Chain A
Amino acid sequence: MGRTLAEKVWDDHVVRRAEGEPDLLYIDLHLLHEVTSPQAFDGLRKSGRRVRRTDLTLATEDHNTPTLDIDKPIADPVSRTQLETLRKNCGEFGVRLHPLGDTEQGVVHVVGPQLGLTQPGTTVVCGDSHTSTHGAFGALAFGIGTSQVEHVLATQTLPMAPFRTMAVTVNGELPEGVTAKDLILAIIARIGTGGGQGYVIEYRGEAIEKLSMEARMTICNMSIEAGARAGMIAPDETTFAYLQGRDHAPEGAEWDAAVAYWRTLRTEEDAVFDHEVVIEAAELAPFVTWGTNPGQGAPLSASVPDPGSFADPGDRVAAEKALEYMGLVPGQRLREIAVDTVFVGSCTNGRIEDLRSAAEVLRGRRIADGVRMLVVPGSVRVALQAVDEGLDRVFAEAGAEWRHAGCSMCLGMNPDQLSPGERCASTSNRNFEGRQGKGGRTHLVSPQVAAATALTGHLASPADLADVPTPAEV
C-alpha cells in the first residue's frame, strides 16, 4: 500500500523505532519566541545541558512587541521581562535571534518561510500552535509544549506517537472574490473545531493546487482551529518558485538535489487516508464568524443562526452562549453587524499578498467614521515591501493606522487590545472570548472583507462597495 505525504515525511525522520514505544523523530527546524521558551532554557541551565543544534534553531520576538514607539522602553514589566529573558538566553546558548528593531523580526510563522528556512519534507516545531502554517510547503510542522521545547533544544528530537491522516479535497475553482481565508473558515465550520483531532490534514484538489504559497499558508495556519495537529499541502512548482533565491534556500547542485527529493513528496495513488472530506469550491462564498469559536461561521450573505436550529444539544448551548457574549440575536443579517475596529494582520493574514488585497479595496476611499483600522504587517520585511509598493500610503490615506510588525491585536499581549464590548472584524485566527482584549467581540474575516467592512462600518465584502463612492466621484 502506498504512503501519504505525511507518512513519507514522518518515515524520513525516524531516528529510532522500537516496538511499543513512540518513534524518536528528528527535528529539522526549531523556532522560538519569548513566551514559551524561558522555562525550557532554564531547564537546560539547571541540568547543565547545551543547545544541541544552534544551526537548526531560530528565535524571534513577536507576541509581546509593541507596534508603536518601538524605540522606547516597553512599558509593561511582564512583556519587557519576557523579551529581555529571550535575549539573554539566546546570547548565552548561541541561538540566532531577531529582536525588535531588526529587519528580520516578525511573527515567527511569517519569518521562517520568508527566509526560505521552511522547506518541503522538513520537520518544523515551535512552542506555538500555529506552527501548522509551515505545512503549506509540504513540511510536517506542529506546535509543542515547553517541556518539549526543552527536549528539542537538548536533543534535536522528539518522541512522538504517529498521527492519523485526513484528506480534505477541494474540487473545482474558487469563485471570484472567495479567498483562502473564506475556504478554511468554511472547512472548519463543516468539520467542526474538534473534527481534526489527532489528524494531520492534507489539503489537496484543484482549488488548492491553484493557490499561491501565501494563500496555502493561510489554510494550513488554521488547521489547528479544526483541532488538527498539523496541515500539509504537497510541494509543487508554486512551492519551488517561491523558495528559489531566498536567503536559506539551497543553491546550485544542492538546489537540484533538493528539488528532486521534493518532487517525491506526493501522496501515492493507492495510499489510504484514515478520513476523507470533499468540498466543492464552486459552492463557497465570503465567509465570516458570528460566534466565539472559529467553527461558528456562515456565509456573509446569511443571518445569525437560531441556536434552536442546531441538532446537537452541545452545539445549541454553545451557540446560545456565543450569541450572548457577542451581543447578537438570531435572524440578524450578518451584513448589518456594525463594527468599531478592523484588524488586518497576524500569521494567518499578515503577509504581503494580504496587505495588497486589503489595500486594493481601500485605494482611493476613506474608512467609515468612527471605525478604527489597524494594519499590522506580519514581519519587518513584509512592512518594507509594502512601503516599497506604496501600500502604507494607501492605508494612511484611507484613514487606517499603519503599525510596526508583530502579533499585536491577534492576541492582545501588547497594548493593542479591544475594550469590553468593542466589536472587531479581524483577519486573525481565533475569536475566543477575550482573545483580543477582555470583553472584546471578534468576527474572523478575510483581508478583503476586513477592508470592505472598514469602508462601510458593517460586515461587508468588496462586492457590496458599488455604492461607496471613491473621492473622484464625490
Chain B
Amino acid sequence: MEAFTTHTGRAVPLRRSNVDTDQIIPAHWLKKVTRDGFEDGLFESWRRDPEFVLNQEAHRGGTVLVAGPDFGTGSSREHAVWALQNYGFKAVISPRFADIFRGNSLKNGLLTVVLPAATVEALWELVEREPDSEVTVDLVARRVTAPGIEADFDLDENARWRLLEGLDDISLTLREEAAIADFESRRPVYKPRTQAV
C-alpha cells in the first residue's frame, strides 16, 4: 500500500448523498478477476448522463472527491474502493461515511476525510466556481486547505499511523517476520506438505 502523507489536486464536486456501493460499482463488474480496470465501471449508470460531473471537461483529472453525507452505504464490496482508486481518486471527503466502506478504504490506502456539511458545501461552491482551485489534504497536520477554506479533521491514531507509513494488514504482519520464522522452526516435522520445495 502506498503511504499517504499529503496530497494536492483538483476536487470533483459530487452533490449527492447516500451514494451506495452499487452506484459506485455495479454488481456485474464483480465478475472481474483483477483489482485493476474498474475505472470504467465507476458510477457507470450516472456517467451515461453527459452532464454528470465526471463527464465535465472542467473537472477532468480531479483526484479528490467531495460528496454528500452517507457515502459508501450498501454492499460491502471492496471493489468500490478499487474503482475509485483505479479512476485516480486519492481521497474522498464527505460529512459521513458508511463503516464498512471506510474500513475498506483505509485498508487500501484511500483516505476518507470527514468534514462538516457546511465545509463540504463551501468546497462544492468553490470548485464549481473555480474548477482549477487546488485542494490539499494534509494527513500529517490533519487539515484540508483550499483558497479561502481551512478545516481540521479527525482520524483515529492507529489508522493515521498506518496510512502515513503505508502499512496494510499484510505489511504489519510481515513486521513479525522473526516471530513467524521462529514459529516455523518449531513446527513438528509430521505436519503435512502439499509439495516438496
- A residues near B (Cβ < 8 Å) are 15-16, 24, 26, 28-29, 38-39, 42-43, 46-47, 49, 54-58, 78, 81-82, 85, 96, 116-119, 122, 146-147, 150-151, 154-157, 159, 248-250, 254-255, 257-258, 261
Contact = CB atoms under 8 A, between A and B. Distances in A.
Contacts of B176: 15-16, 24, 157
B197 interface: yes
B129 interface: no
A459 B173 CA distance: 52
Given A146-B78, A147-B78, A155-B173, A258 B190 contact: yes
Given A15-B183, A38-B33, A156-B180, 8 more contacts: A42-B34, A55-B196, A81-B33, A118-B192, A150-B170, A154-B174, A155-B173, A159-B173
Contact of A42 (B36, B169, B184): B36
A54 B197 CA distance: 8
Nearest to B195: A96
A55 B193 CA distance: 5
Nearest to B194: A58
A85 B107 CA distance: 25
Interface of B: 1, 31, 33-36, 78, 107, 169-170, 173-174, 176, 179-180, 183-184, 187-197
A159 B169 CA distance: 9
A117 B192 contact: yes
A78 B29 CA distance: 11
Q: In the A-B complex, list the 3 residue pairs whose CB atoms are closest, starting with the nearest.
A: A38-B33, A258-B190, A250-B190
A151 B169 CA distance: 8
B101 to A, nearest CB: 14
Contacts of B188: 257-258, 261
A147 B107 contact: yes
B35 A39 contact: yes
A250 B183 CA distance: 20
Nearest to B82: A39
B179 to A, nearest CB: 5
Nearest to A261: B188
A370 to B, nearest CB: 35
Given A49-B170, A151-B169, A159-B173, A38 B194 contact: no
21 contacts: A24-B173, A24-B176, A24-B179, A26-B183, A38-B33, A38-B34, A42-B33, A42-B35, A42-B36, A54-B194, A58-B194, A78-B31, A117-B194, A122-B191, A122-B192, A146-B78, A147-B78, A150-B170, A249-B192, A250-B190, A261-B188
A306 to B, nearest CB: 34
A55 B195 contact: yes
A26 B180 contact: yes
Contacts of B196: 55
B180 A254 contact: no
Contacts of A24: 173, 176, 179-180
A334 to B, nearest CB: 35
Given A42-B36, A146-B78, A154 B192 contact: no
A39 B191 contact: no
A146 B35 CA distance: 11
A54 B187 CA distance: 16
Given A49-B170, A154-B170, A155-B173, A257 B34 contact: no
Contacts of B169: 147, 151, 159
Nearest to B36: A42
B170 A151 contact: yes
A144 to B, nearest CB: 12
A338 B109 CA distance: 54
A16 B195 CA distance: 27
A159 B192 CA distance: 22
A229 to B, nearest CB: 17
B3 to A, nearest CB: 13
Contacts of A49: 170
B90 to A, nearest CB: 16
Among B170, B179, B194, B196, chain A packs the most CB atoms within 10 A around the CB of B194
Among B176, B184, B191, B192, chain A packs the most CB atoms within 10 A around the CB of B192
A213 to B, nearest CB: 16
Given A46-B35, A155-B180, A156-B180, A28 B174 contact: no
A278 B101 CA distance: 41
A163 to B, nearest CB: 19
B33 A254 contact: no
A407 B106 CA distance: 35
B190 A55 contact: no
B189 A254 contact: yes
A261 to B, nearest CB: 7
B190 A254 contact: yes
B172 to A, nearest CB: 8
A83 to B, nearest CB: 10
Given A15-B176, A38-B34, A151-B173, A116 B183 contact: no
B188 to A, nearest CB: 7
Contacts of B183: 15, 26
A356 to B, nearest CB: 27
A259 B183 CA distance: 21
Nearest to A247: B192
Contacts of B194: 29, 54-58, 96, 117, 248
